[in-house]
Structure 1
Amino acid sequence: MTTPTLKLPSPVPAPRPRIDVQQLMQGRQELEIAHRGEVYRLRLTKSGKLILTK
């Protein structure tokens, strides 16, 4: 005789935080991001694209 297996619902993943680029950049065209001892540069181009460089 087998015991029925209880299936628990899969946990719902938490939504990823989202920040608007205008809020992040605060009117600037460029900012630096420090990560694990390295500095990265995030730039907003004239055409509105984001470029992240080390």
Structure 2
Amino acid sequence: MIIEPSLVHGLIAAQFPHRADLPVEAVDASGTANAISTAPSSASRRTAPDPAP
């Protein structure tokens, strides 16, 4: 499952409006079942994938 940075950016903007102007980029996260995105302020957002069907 691919979590697009635009989705993470929207979640951050909705929950933390004061950080809505920060860029978001995907991080290569081998060895984890979570998608991890970062913003320049060292904040990160972990998004659990949908369970396998």
Higher RCO (Cα < 8 Å, 6 or more apart) = 2
Q: TM-score, normalised by structure 1?
A: 0.26
Larger radius of gyration: 1
Higher helix share: 2
Higher strand share: 1
Q: TM-score, normalised by structure 2?
A: 0.26
